């Protein structure tokens, strides 16, 4: 054998090919409760990019923690609550502070988000709620607490259901830019 020979694979006499380079980046664990958990390091950096659990080992992932921005932290939880293979709810830490600041839900399971709760200024308090109640893919109501005093500041609605938010109701008088002061 010379110094130029590939020593990473030794011929054992069988016809099996050498293992693929990315083999071993997925760990499969079978729990005593009948669950299966998959830990996947898709970029081979030594950190899990996905930790997915199939609670009843039926082949459908029920929960998956995902690193969406490749920073080594599992920042998003995807949940399939009814075991149909489609994500129903997503919980995301969009700014990397360890707190969920975006929750989105597909209530009617058509693959389109119907409700969102967001902490738009990333201070740990939700301040915006968006809902598509008629499932047409457009927001029907947006509720905001911009000053985060715990009281709703404004409610914006699509009153004629044309897909455009057209009516604003200022619930908190201090948030109304048109109120005389």
Model confidence pLDDT, tens digit, residues 137-146: 999 999 999 8
For 66, list phi and psi in degrees, rounded to 5. Answer: -130, 140
* Higher local confidence (pLDDT), 149 or 64: 64
SS3 helix, strand, coil % of the chain, rounded to 5?
0, 30, 70
Backbone phi, psi, residue 174, to 5°: -70, -20
Structural domains of the chain, count: 2
Domain membership of residue 48 as a residue range:
24-81
Shared domain for 169 and 105, answered yes or no, is yes
Whether residue 116 is found in the same domain as residue 170: yes
Based on the fold, state whether residues 63 and 28 are members of the same structural domain: yes
Q: Which of 81, 98, 116 is the endpoint of a domain? A: 81
Are 72 and 93 found together in one domain? no
Query: How large is the average pLDDT for residues 6-35?
Result: 62
Q: Which range (45-49, 65-69, 83-87, 175-179) has the least confidence?
A: 175-179
The structure tokens listed for 137 are: 């893919």
Residue 76 reports pLDDT greater than 70: yes
- Shared-domain flag, residues 73 and 100: no
What is the value of pTM for the model shown?
0.77
pLDDT for 119: 94
DSSP at 174:
G
**In a shared domain, residues 180 and 123:** yes
In a domain, 58, yes or no: yes
Dihedral sign from CA coordinates of 169, 171, 172, 174: positive
103 and 179, same structural domain? Answer: yes
Residues 43 and 131 in one domain: no
Predicted confidence (pLDDT) at residue 12 exceeds the cutoff of 70: no
Domain final residue, candidates 81, 100, 116: 81
69 and 94 share one domain: no
Domain closes at, from 52, 81, 110: 81
CA–CA separation, 121 and 147 (whole Å): 11
Are 50 and 66 a contacting pair, CB within 8 Å? yes
């Amino acid at each position: 054998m010379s110094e130029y020979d590939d020593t990473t694979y030794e011929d054992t006499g069988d016809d099996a090919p050498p293992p693929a380079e990315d083999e071993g980046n997925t760990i499969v664990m079978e729990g005593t409760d009948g669950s299966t958990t998959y830990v996947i390091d898709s970029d081979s950096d030594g950190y899990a990019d996905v930790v997915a659990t199939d609670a009843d080992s039926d082949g459908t992932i029920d929960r998956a923690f995902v690193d969406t921005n490749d920073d080594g932290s599992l920042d998003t939880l995807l949940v399939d609550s009814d075991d149909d293979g489609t994500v129903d709810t997503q919980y995301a830490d969009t700014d990397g502070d360890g707190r969920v600041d975006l929750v989105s839900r597909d209530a009617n399971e058509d693959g389109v988000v119907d409700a969102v709760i967001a902490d738009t200024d990333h201070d740990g308090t939700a301040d915006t709620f968006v809902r598509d109640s008629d499932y047409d893919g457009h927001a029907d109501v947006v509720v905001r607490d911009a000053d985060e005093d715990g009281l709703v500041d404004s409610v914006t609605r699509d009153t004629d259901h044309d897909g455009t938010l057209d009516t604003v109701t200022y619930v908190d008088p201090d948030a109304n830019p048109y109120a005389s002061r």
